[in-house]
Structure 1
């Protein structure tokens, strides 16, 4: 797996569109094998490659409960804990370079493919979402929501943005601090925005307005599961990716280490976020009422 990642990273760091596309396809192939194929035995690995290249056969999807015992996923997860092998970081760097290029059909397709892979990696490896607590990376999403970009880029950006915010209150605070709500609502109110993008923006607003909770504390059973997935390195991994949260909230779970029920993290309620969104949008109360009645539409069509 390290050899495959090394080759794909080399392609992703290239300036040639053909090489970037090849790197993206290699990453996509790796993620597809993790999600769609049984890779516990050599024969199944060979069968997986045949299935991935076939247009008539449909690989069987893995169940989430199968992942702790899946050797390929355990190896993938352990590698992603290392900066050297972290796919999300390489994809974000690739996205930065693509944004610096002239807009054309080829470049737009590469941007969309990169965004889709970022979404997939963040779902498979949630700790990588911590990247987007930094303004420089969150700003990439806001740049891609510029009205000058095509609807396909805007739609893929919204989905990747949502994935980066899942169970990450600190990322949401970063999004708010760099005027993310202004960007979202301005795009929503623009007459030039396509209907498809506006529907995804409505889904995003439902998602944003949901009340936040801090990630649950690690229980003994959860710790055992993490250790099984990570091959015995659960404690070290959890500590490494909780370190940034501790610098924000303090080692006791509160800001600056303060104790108390309201100091468990930088979370906000629906009412608090309604007030923030109301500065940019007039009918937020309708969204909130709809959310309370039926949970909005995001839970059906979104992540």
Structure 2
């Protein structure tokens, strides 16, 4: 039996950040701060020596439904993906839509990076991410992210005379989000044959091949697709 004490402060910080991230009433700025806190907490845990109380405490919290990062974040990613898709489909000529799309892209990327670390450290999280619902969410986001590289949707910097959006100091590169999705899929599927079979049932391989063949896919995303397919074809 693991008797590692769980700090009330860490538990509350983790739970409060997840609550702020997934709440429909949270403004963009609140979600950005929540993601920063989550990133700090996970970084502190993963930077600690293996077997340390800090890491064990974080992993124990991942066994609770209220503090499990992946199971609480994936539904938010699903909703944020739908919103990003709506913004990209309508075009980003409007400065406000452009700012929101850029912020969403950055937030989604940050959330995926956090999930990657948890998946590689917490076995139950890795198993959860290999189920159909999380894989569907990740693949849907990968399909949506292809619009970021399309000339008709690729955002441009706001005019110098316009007021800069507080959460959009720089437009996110078009490749940052699809690369983050592909990295998350790699972290989920590595050393997990059952998850690979689910991934195949979700038409995951076809989705990545289509992205690879797409004319406007950035070169670094194509390289990431090839890296993924090389991993997939390995024994």
Aligned to 1:205: 229
Of 63, 67, 73, the residue aligned with 1:91 is 73
Task: Tell me if the contact between 1:12 and 1:90 (Cα under 8 Å) persists in the aligned partners.
Answer: no
Q: Secondary structure at the match of 1:160?
A: helix
Aligned to 1:100: 82
Partners of 1:167 and 1:19 lie apart in 2 by 36
Partners of 1:189 and 1:179 lie apart in 2 by 16
Q: Secondary structure at the match of 1:164?
A: helix
Shift of the alpha carbon at 1:169? 1.1
Q: TM-score, normalised by structure 1?
A: 0.57
1:13 aligns with 2:13: no
- CA deviation digits over 1:99-131, x for unaligned, max 9? 121441111111111111111111221320111
Aligned to 2:159: none
Q: Secondary structure at the match of 1:101?
A: helix
- Equivalent residues in 2 for 1:1-303 (5 A)? 1-15=10-24, 16-36=27-47, 62=48, 66-68=49-51, 70-102=52-84, 103=87, 104-146=101-143, 147-149=146-148, 150-211=174-235
Q: Secondary structure at the match of 1:193?
A: coil
CA RMSD between the two structures: 1.5
The count of corresponding residues between Structure 1 and Structure 2 is 182
Q: Which has the larger radius of gyration?
A: 1
Partners of 2:23 and 2:65 lie apart in 1 by 19
- CA deviation digits over 1:116-168, x for unaligned, max 9? 11111112213201112322210112112222143211111100110011222
Partners of 1:6 and 1:145 lie apart in 2 by 28
Task: Tell me if the contact between 1:88 and 1:128 (Cα under 8 Å) persists in the aligned partners.
Answer: yes
* Gapped regions of structure 1 (runs ≥ 5): 37-61, 212-303
* Gapped regions of structure 2 (runs ≥ 5): 1-9, 88-100, 149-173
Task: Tell me if the contact between 1:135 and 1:178 (Cα under 8 Å) persists in the aligned partners.
Answer: yes
Q: Secondary structure at the match of 1:100?
A: helix
Q: TM-score, normalised by structure 2?
A: 0.73
Q: Secondary structure at the match of 1:67?
A: coil
Runs of 4+ in 1 over 4 A off after TM superposition: none
